[in-house]
Structure 1
Amino acid sequence: MNNTGNSPVTGILLAAGRGSRFDASGRQDKLLHMLPTGDTVVAASAKKMLAVLPRVVAVVRPQAEDVAACLRALGCEVTECAQAGQGMGASLVHALAHASDAAGWLIALGDMPFVQRETLQALATRLAQEGGIVAPAYLGRRGNPVGFGRQYLPQLLTLGGDQGARRLLQTYPVTDIAVDDPGVTLDIDTPADVEAQYRT
């Protein structure tokens, strides 16, 4: 259940990648890989966002019906990006156009299920209060998700390719929020990445 009431921040979950490094054959979608917790990778990512933000827009690629169905069942607004194959930038612009009425956006990646809910809450709160650009930092290393206030919408809509919003982080001031959360730097590229997080 969403619990932040009238938060002006909208979540964007980028879940349109193919994950070819996870399974070169293309048979196994890494977003649907089952974690030991019982959730798929993308469901774990989405549930934390949905617990913090009143609205989460998830972007999927064409023909990703299983990913779309999973996210829709959880409560995300699912939108398909026909240009997803061009890279993360295209998916992000598509999502922003879908949610252009928001006061700010917290942009997360569908293959980063280890980000803590408290981190998402801290970022959303700071973004709602101050706008600008916010990012988590773990042990001095900047991670994801990253938040943008509405004033950056024109710049965000010019993005393209696979770099996403990285160029904006290099160009404009960023408020780094120190977090005790290694999940902000951990994405899943291979099955070994999953195993490493649950190894005792």
Structure 2
Amino acid sequence: MTTYASFAESIGVMDKAFISFVGAGGKTSLIKRLSWELFQMGKRVAVTTTTKMDANQSPQFWNASKVQNEEEIEETIRRSSGLGLVPFFYSAVEENDKLSGFSPDFTERIFKKVDYLLVEADGARGASFKVPRAHEPVLSEATTHLCIVMGCDIFESYPQEGLFFNFEELSKTPGFHRDEIVTPFTIRKLILMKDGYLRFARKDRKIFLVINKVDSASTMESMIQIAGEFYHCDFEKIILISREEGSPVISVDNSGDRVAGVILAAGKSERFGRQKLCEKIEGEAIIGRVVRQSLESKLDSVCVVLGYEAKQVRKCLDLLESHPALMWINNPNFERGMGSSISEAVSAVSSWADAVMIILGDMPAITTDIIDGVLEVYKKYKSKICYPVVEGRQGHPVIFRKELFPDLISLSGDTGAHKVIELNAEWAKVVEISNGRSQMDIDTAEDLEKFKSII
């Protein structure tokens, strides 16, 4: 959990950004706050919409201006700067004091003239939660930051019109029941719907889930707990924010940072014909090479799971025996396969570790840099699963967050954790790496000779 002094700081202040707000639960209030913060920082900021905004919600520091072309945009920016105001652009005034906005193309023309453009790209008619319809939101391709907003007042209450946009249609959604209290799990399913806002995710666009209206200390405390339910690898951050200007902003981490490395070294080496982990590569045992690289990484501890010929394997690690981060785990059931070793290891570290990184003891090319690279991505996104991808294929090592410990502890047989990865694919964050040789494992004497020939 990280506390920021401002909304701008929480999303990361850059030289230039096109920030679109979608969803419900106070988009306009957030745009007001962010525009003021950026303006106070000396940024050239402007506000507009691709839908409609209420003229009565325009604050005193906005200069509401009707424009139709680039000349009028530039003139409004100059006039607003002279007045010490933030330009707010609209195209027409409609009934009920609604101000119409522009097409995405026109907003991109505005963006060329300023450092920051804040765009309300969705309508919700005062509701606190919204699932977009097929034609919504009206989002520009130029959007660099997408804020998906919802109000925290939707939780622990029964669904009702006013809180939920397009309530009648939403009521037909599987899992959403009028007569059941709204839970974080229900909302998570709606947020992650196939046709929801995450369909606009792309590599060069940062997406923030912003939970608004967190206006009291008690509400903040409960929202910190609830926010962990909304993790998705496409979210840059989950932000908790109050409507009160100047109040602190909190970014919620979904788990702690303590990661235990688990090196699987209990197998029988049947295809090799003898204990392969003690075979030497450049004078160093295979298992010694893997353990050394792991101990030199940023892992909080390194646990070696022993089984078949445990004394012989441990003897290969004599020079590392005294390392304070090294732990030993004995698997009496090693003959039952890799799953039993993962189960023993996770059970042993579950009381203190927030995640485990599974490392195969027969993969001597997994370097400290690869381990730290996967760790860095995991700690940034707090994904339930994190692993490298090499040439389009899932590689090793693999990190599993604490929520998946029960699934790992229940493993048996020789299939490893593949099923756990499969069942939780939507939670995974991948790390692209180009070193294909890093994924070489030593199963046979021929594999060992091939490895020696290319290192």
TM-score under structure 1 length normalisation: 0.88
Counterpart of 1:103 (choices 354, 357, 363) is 354
TM-score under structure 2 length normalisation: 0.40
How far did residue 63 of structure 1 move? Answer: 4.1
**Match for residue 133 of structure 1?**
385
How far did residue 144 of structure 1 move? Answer: 1.1
Q: Give 3-state SS (helix, strand or coil) of 2:404's partner.
A: helix
**Match for residue 310 of structure 2?**
64
RMSD: 1.7
How far did residue 66 of structure 1 move? Answer: 1.8
Q: Give 3-state SS (helix, strand or coil) of 1:107's partner.
A: strand
Once the two structures are superposed, the pairs formed by residues 28-177 of structure 1 within 5 Å of their partners are 28-35=274-281, 37-52=282-297, 53-61=299-307, 63-71=309-317, 73-74=319-320, 75=323, 76-100=326-350, 101-129=352-380, 130-173=382-425, 174-177=428-431
Q: How many residues align?
A: 190
Q: Is 1:15 matched with 2:269?
A: no
Q: Residues of 1 paired with 2:335 and 2:263: CA distance?
A: 16
**Contact persistence 1:57–1:78 (CA under 8 A):** yes
Q: Residues of 1 paired with 2:442 and 2:390: CA distance?
A: 17
Q: Unaligned 5+ residue runs, structure 2? A: 1-255
How far did residue 123 of structure 1 move? Answer: 1.0
- Look up the equivalent residue of 2:385 and give its one-letter code: I
**Contact persistence 1:19–1:30 (CA under 8 A):** yes
- Look up the equivalent residue of 2:301 and give its one-letter code: R
Q: Which structure carries more strand by proportion?
A: 2
Distance 1:121 1:89, change over 3 A: same
Between 1 and 2, higher relative CO (CA 8 Å, sep ≥ 6) is seen in 1
Distance 1:54 1:183, change over 3 A: farther
- Look up the equivalent residue of 1:190 and give its one-letter code: T
How far did residue 168 of structure 1 move? Answer: 0.9
**Contact persistence 2:388–2:433 (CA under 8 A):** yes
Percent identical among aligned pairs is 28
Q: Give 3-state SS (helix, strand or coil) of 2:412's partner.
A: coil
Q: Give 3-state SS (helix, strand or coil) of 2:376's partner.
A: helix
- Look up the equivalent residue of 1:64 and give its one-letter code: A
Instruction: Determine which structure has more spread, i.e. the larger CA radius of gyration.
Output: 2
